[in-house]
Amino acid sequence: MTRTLFQNANVVFPDQVTQGNVLVEDGVIIDVAASPSTNAQTVVDCQGLHLMPGVVDDQVHFRDPGLTHKEDLSTASHACAAGGVTSFLEMPNTKPPAVTVEGVKQKDALGAEKSLVNYGFYIGATPDNVDELKKATDVPGIKIFIGSSTGNLLVDQQEALERIFSETTLPICAHCEDEQTVRENAQRLAGTNDIADHSRIRDEKAAVIATKRAIDLAQRHKHRFHVLHVSTAAELPLLREAGPYLTAEICLHHIFFNVDDYPRLGSRIQMNPSIKTAKDNERLYQGLLDGTIQVIATDHAPHTLEEKAKPYPESPSGLPAVENSLALMLNQVNQGKCSLTQVASWMSDAPARVWGIVGKGRIAKGYDADLVLVDMQQSRTIEDQNQHTKTKWSPWSGTELTGWPVATYVGGHRVFDQHQGFDESFRGKKLRFDHSRGGFYQTTDGIGPTQ
């Protein structure tokens, strides 16, 4: 029996922040109001620090296997640990893509071998793999690329989409950009080398058409559906009216960057869906605050700077973000724009509930001890050369933030400390999913505890 006592912490619970002592035994939280003199092999002095649930990032692209010159599960999970991310869900568009049960199992094996933090892998939909999707069980859900993909992962034919929504039971998420609209815009702007045209090609109309289409499928088939990386204010009314089968998320680049930043940052902020306007930034943030959007994710998708330096449109879309995501939001707390309990909800509790991740997402008795210690007074500047992601750059390079994770615990084990570095001997575990619990709207009291 191994016990760790987090002593004198400002504990971030779902509804409040209070000072107290959290006791962990064999990787599970057993007391959230322990005596400060409780016997434990390890006592962590948390005076002046906040103890938060570890971040659950439900949308990352870690490039392993097949594209490991950009990232792999080892480098990416180090970036996660440094940023307070204790669990991630990775997308299927690797090489080969994870579109079979066996393909997902192969990625699980890579996670067990390489990852410092906990992991799960989506199974990808193709126009003709419904039978394989129906066999998948121990996965977070199904990912559909309704727009913007390569190989056989693009699914934009209505007949194929109807089959996926009607014949499968796993929750579904999708990249929503209308492929026809994107192609028409690209043809109209053919020959452009202006990076700003990326937001004209992947415009508001493309996002709205695809999101509306996906919501219609979810409503008609009564199928749980999660809208990934909402990028436009025009999608918000669709989300508000969608009913109990729908959840949605926002990515940090869609609230912190806009088209006015292209002259300064160029292809560093080239993303799919594209960056939109300052007004979209403002209204999307409000969508978080009013509950229209439930989740914050990163869509971490690194490319090398050499690749990014290619002239548009040869430059690829995607940016790295996992090691700075929590700090970006802690800085927002310090600026009075949101609260720590809201950040914990958006980045930990809500994604765990959406995907039925057992025992994750909040600090409560019986939950796994995936925790992050935060210093809300510490100020640091993001710098390319200090990034742990393999590509060694960040679109936020040069940005000073106040509020940083200083130590990260996975299953009660410290995997990262800002002074002592990483525990290279540790490996995270495959996440457990229980979709019978009904998803976000059926788990208002949380998705745990571990049974």
What is the full DSSP assignment across 74-112? HHHHHHHHHHTEEEEEE-S-SSS---SHHHHHHHHHHHH
151 in a structural domain:
yes
**181 pLDDT band (50/70/90 cuts)?**
very high
pLDDT per residue over 315-364, tens digit each?
Answer: 999 999 999 999 999 999 999 999 999 999 999 999 999 999 999 999 99
226 in a structural domain:
yes
Distance CA 372, CA 368 (A): 12
pLDDT per residue over 206-264, tens digit each?
Answer: 999 999 999 999 999 999 999 999 999 999 999 998 789 999 999 999 999 999 999 99
pLDDT per residue over 406-444, tens digit each?
Answer: 999 999 999 999 999 999 999 999 999 999 999 999 999
20 in a structural domain:
no
Distance CA 341, CA 343 (A): 5
Burial of 131 (0-12, 13-18, 19+ CB in 10 A): exposed
Bond before 96 cis per omega within 30 degrees? yes
Contact 325, 110 (CB under 8 A): no
388 in a structural domain:
no
Among candidate residues 151, 142, 212, the one with its CA nearest the CA of residue 177: 212
Q: Which residues are catalytic?
A: 299
8 in a structural domain:
no
Helices in 123-170 by DSSP H: which ranges?
A: 130-135, 158-167
pTM: 0.98
Domain containing residue 114 = 54-361
Q: What are phi and psi of 326, to 5 degrees?
A: -65, -45
Residue with tokens 């090398």: 304
Reading the block at residue 379, the tokens are: 């100020």
What is the rounded average pLDDT for all residues in the chain?
96
H helix or E strand, kind and range, residue 119? strand 118-121
pLDDT score of 151: 62
Distance CA 55, CA 118 (A): 11
4 in a structural domain:
no
273 in a structural domain:
yes
What CATH code is carried by the domain that includes residue 342?
A: 3.20.20.140
388: left (phi over 0), alpha (psi -120 to 50) or beta: alpha
**3-state SS assignment for residue 421:** strand
3 in a structural domain:
no
Contact 111, 431 (CB under 8 A): no
34: left (phi over 0), alpha (psi -120 to 50) or beta: beta
Residues contacting residue 135 through CB under 8 Å, at least 6 positions apart: 101
Burial of 397 (0-12, 13-18, 19+ CB in 10 A): middle
How many structural domains comprise the chain?
Answer: 1
Could you give the angle at which helices 179-188 and 204-221 cross, rounded to 10 degrees?
A: 170
Please determine, for residue 154, whether its predicted confidence score (pLDDT) is greater than 90: no
- What Å distances lie between residue 302 and 127, 165, 225, 268, 307, CA to CA? 27, 30, 26, 10, 10
